[in-house]
Amino acid sequence: MWKKRPLSRFKWISSIALLAGAIGSAAVQPVRLAISPTNPLLFGKDSRQSLLVVAFYSDGTSRDVTREARFASAKAGVATVDNAGLVTAHSNGGSRIEAAYAGLRASTTALVQRAEAPLPVSFAGDILPILTKYGCNSGSCHGALNGQNGFKLSLFGYEPKNDYEMIVHKQDGRRLSLSDPEKSLLLLKPTFQVKHGGGKRFPKDSPDYITLLNWIRNGANSVLEQERRMVALSVNPPSNILLGKESKRRLLVTARYSDGSESDVTQLMRFQSNDDLIASVDPQGTMTGLEGGETAIVVRGPGVTGVAIVDVVSDSRPVPAFKGNNFIDQYVIEKLQRLHIPASEPANDATFLRRVFLDIIGIIPTSSEARQFLNDRDTDKRAKLVEALLHRPEYADFWALYWGDHLNNTKQLLYNKGPYTFTIWLNQIFRSNVPYDKFARMLLTSTGNTYDAPEVSFYPEMKKELDRASTTTQLFLGVSIECARCHNHPLEHWTRDDFNGMAAFFSQIRFKEPSGPRNNEKSLYLDFKRQFQHPDTKQVYLPKPLNGPVVTASDDWTDRRELLADWMTSPNNPYFARTLVNRMWRNFMGRGLVEPVDDFRATNPPTNAPLLDALAKDFVEHGYDLHHLIRSITSSATYQLSSIPIDGNKGDRMAYSRYSPRRLTAEQMLDSIVLATGVPERFRSQYPGTRASQLAEPEIESYFLDVFDRPSRQLICERKQPPTLNQALHLISGDTIQKKIADPRSSLPGDVEEMYLRTLSRYPDAEERSMAERVIAQAGDAKRGYQDLLWALLNCKEFLYNH
């Protein structure tokens, strides 16, 4: 649903299904040979198709043996095949092509049509792909908004008409020399025969050079309306397993054109890996497996994209399943087993305790809560703990904070009281566990005075329709449509029309000042008749959701945003639920199934699509209940895995073979330090005892929070939290920790066990106890000794990180 379906005509028997059993080493016999693509279509005389031959072995592995196979064509008059498996079309008809290797045979039939003559060179179909392949029309070169040096092409070739004009006609056609084609700038520049800011893109007399040259020689004609252009790509094989590091597999790419023809365009495509550490791909489309994991290879042509999923298995040993608790584990285990990545051990009670406190309510437990949990014999205690956390007041604060970060809750956008009323409202939402679809609808369809109806804060007055479209799609639909503000999205099929269609939902929003200009109070009302006009072109757009038809209201008094909310919260909406469960997954697991969490696209597939689908479906079926989602995630065995790597999963970053440790957020850190030391932090003009997670706006002064990456909330993005020098200095000699340690109220208990429980939420072991006691004795002054111990406990990674 994220992209156009690949050509169903090309069925590739995936090697996934065949992976089973132990893998031996020497003298394994191939038992079967297969040719791909099955029954390729070739259009036009001299058109060509590469073949891929794969051998399957008795141990279940497979290998690309194209270079070693021998080929033959039954009807050479129709089509011939060379030693490399390249088929060339000569006349209409079919010819059986056979490959032989190691005593095995496989065959396929090449079907040739329209072979009376070579297919006419199409600007969009044959020339533009070359410009795309070599990056000429990429965003950093001539595809930039203003082009380079006056030569501007559409980004990745999505506007062939303009590109043709630019190349052939603009500036008196200086880029082409029809009388002396080899002297055309279009050829001299990329071959660096004259100075070219982009360097040498391809050599003179290379096949692509020849294509361009011949096109110019033939007059550089184009009747764009009659030409074929690429409309879809099919990548073979669409999913792959690469066994062992350094194993290779070629991809074949077939394009389908607007005239129904097809062609092997492997040599014309631009290839890119989504994760170069797992698998790389070379410009010819050959993948190399590097590290165990799953990623996607993205294939790009002018205006079209394709994706191949690749699993790299770097360890030959299969892995056992761990004991699963719910449906989540089923999908995670399946992926881990396919990738041969073992899961770490289950986390112990102390680890689970601290982890779940931080992930659900944003603060560590007290020492007595820790003792109580650790000593509890109830086998159900973990689930009961989660339940208790869901109903604590800190829960509402923590999630109001999360959503405050994502809803621009700052005085810079919501004036004066705005953040305060909004925070109170958010707090109520989470305290009463309002279903998520209702929450979204309340925000989207809000009207009234921002102070009386704080949900109106979803619409900061200064933002206009296009910005609202951008943030709404980013926040609720996980789609970064911003690129499409100015041009079609380079990596997805979103167009400017999609962007403008979404913006039109917000056209009716108006603001007035109810109490006079000085009060900064704003009231949102609707002008039902108002249309959305693009600020630059002045064109009027009607409301149209992503991938959906234009929405018409039943009468003149319909709030368009209600229609948007209807579409978004419909159980069939492919984005809404998936986006939320992905965000929540990221909160608990450290990495979304789709990363970044607001960049869902066909060329950025989830690392576990069935899991994402299942989570979303379960969420919708349970009425968008956030508590239910949190229960599901935290009760899974996957969530409860230890973060300690074992042999075979140290490099895993995407399959959830272990919990992913991450630094506490600024608020988690400060609140936990306050809790552990017993010394509250004072915030200006806030009630004493206010926690950092309760601060309504990021403008409330706190060096500690700022230095640890408290967001300004002017943008919606996830916290990056890079380590900095100021942080280190602050932890070492800054007053936040130092004052709390030295404060008499921190009532150092003089008890190593209590100190460990207060900070690390666990009992110290014998070695730790004796080390601590040694250091305290050495300090001379017991009080100073305990202060030093407390300092170390608050600075150690085990405290600063959620593990």
Interaction residues for other proteins, span 685-704 (CB under 8 A): 703
Please give the Cα distance from 207 to 126 (Å, whole number): 12
Please give the Cα distance from 585 to 607 (Å, whole number): 12
* CA atoms 636, 641, 643, 645: torsion sign: negative
Kindly tell me which residue out of 424, 732, 777, 782 binds other proteins, with binding defined by CB under 8 A: 732
Chain centroid to CA 709: 22
Q: How far is the CB of 422 from other proteins (least distance, A)?
A: 18
672 binds other proteins (CB under 8 A): no
> What is the dihedral angle through the alpha carbons of 139, 144, 147, 148, rounded to the nearest 10 degrees?
-60
* CA atoms 195, 197, 199, 205: torsion sign: negative
788 binds other proteins (CB under 8 A): yes
Considering the complex, state which of residue 186 and residue 481 has its C-beta at the smaller distance from other proteins: 481
784 binds other proteins (CB under 8 A): yes
Kindly tell me which residue out of 377, 518, 720, 745 binds other proteins, with binding defined by CB under 8 A: 720
Site string for other proteins, 739-778 (x = CB under 8 A): ---x-------------------------x--xx--x--x
661 binds other proteins (CB under 8 A): yes
198 binds other proteins (CB under 8 A): no
* Cβ atoms of 81 and 51 closer than 8 Å: yes
* Cβ atoms of 1 and 575 closer than 8 Å: no
Kindly tell me which residue out of 14, 38, 337, 643 binds other proteins, with binding defined by CB under 8 A: 643
Kindly tell me which residue out of 738, 749, 754, 769 binds other proteins, with binding defined by CB under 8 A: 738
Considering the complex, state which of residue 76 and residue 729 has its C-beta at the smaller distance from other proteins: 729
- What part of residues 430-459 is at the interface with other proteins (CB under 8 A)? none
Considering the complex, state which of residue 95 and residue 138 has its C-beta at the smaller distance from other proteins: 138
- What part of residues 574-603 is at the interface with other proteins (CB under 8 A)? 596, 598-599
Burial class, 213, CB count within 10 angstroms (exposed 0-12 / middle 13-18 / buried 19+): middle
Q: Would you say how long the chain is, in residues?
A: 803
| Torsional class of 516: left (φ above 0), alpha (ψ -120 to 50), beta (otherwise) | left
- What part of residues 47-106 is at the interface with other proteins (CB under 8 A)? none
CA distances for 655 relative to 21, 154, 336, angstroms:
21, 37, 6
* Cβ atoms of 471 and 511 closer than 8 Å: no
Q: How far is the CB of 626 from other proteins (least distance, A)?
A: 25
Kindly tell me which residue out of 167, 484, 707, 752 binds other proteins, with binding defined by CB under 8 A: 707
Strands lying side by side in the sheet with 104-113 = 41-43, 104-113, 93-101, 70-73
Q: How far is the CB of 137 from other proteins (least distance, A)?
A: 13
Please give the Cα distance from 740 to 787 (Å, whole number): 10
* Cβ atoms of 635 and 382 closer than 8 Å: yes
- What part of residues 277-306 is at the interface with other proteins (CB under 8 A)? none
Please give the Cα distance from 92 to 428 (Å, whole number): 72
Size of the site for other proteins (CB under 8 A): 73
Kindly tell me which residue out of 266, 607, 727, 761 binds other proteins, with binding defined by CB under 8 A: 727
- What part of residues 131-170 is at the interface with other proteins (CB under 8 A)? 138-140, 145-146, 148-150
Q: Which residues contact 143 (CB under 8 A, 6 or more apart)?
A: 136, 137, 153, 154, 155, 156
What 3-state class would DSSP assign to 283? Answer: coil
Considering the complex, state which of residue 686 and residue 738 has its C-beta at the smaller distance from other proteins: 738
Site string for other proteins, 7-26 (x = CB under 8 A): --------------------
Q: How far is the CB of 706 from other proteins (least distance, A)?
A: 8
Q: How far is the CB of 419 from other proteins (least distance, A)?
A: 15
185 binds other proteins (CB under 8 A): no
- What part of residues 454-483 is at the interface with other proteins (CB under 8 A)? 462, 467, 470-471, 474, 480, 482
722 binds other proteins (CB under 8 A): yes
803 binds other proteins (CB under 8 A): yes
Considering the complex, state which of residue 142 and residue 561 has its C-beta at the smaller distance from other proteins: 142
377 binds other proteins (CB under 8 A): no
Amino acid at 386: V
Q: How far is the CB of 292 from other proteins (least distance, A)?
A: 15
Kindly tell me which residue out of 712, 743, 749, 754 binds other proteins, with binding defined by CB under 8 A: 712
290-300 burial by CB neighbour count: b if 16+ within 10 A, else e?
bbbbbbbbbbb
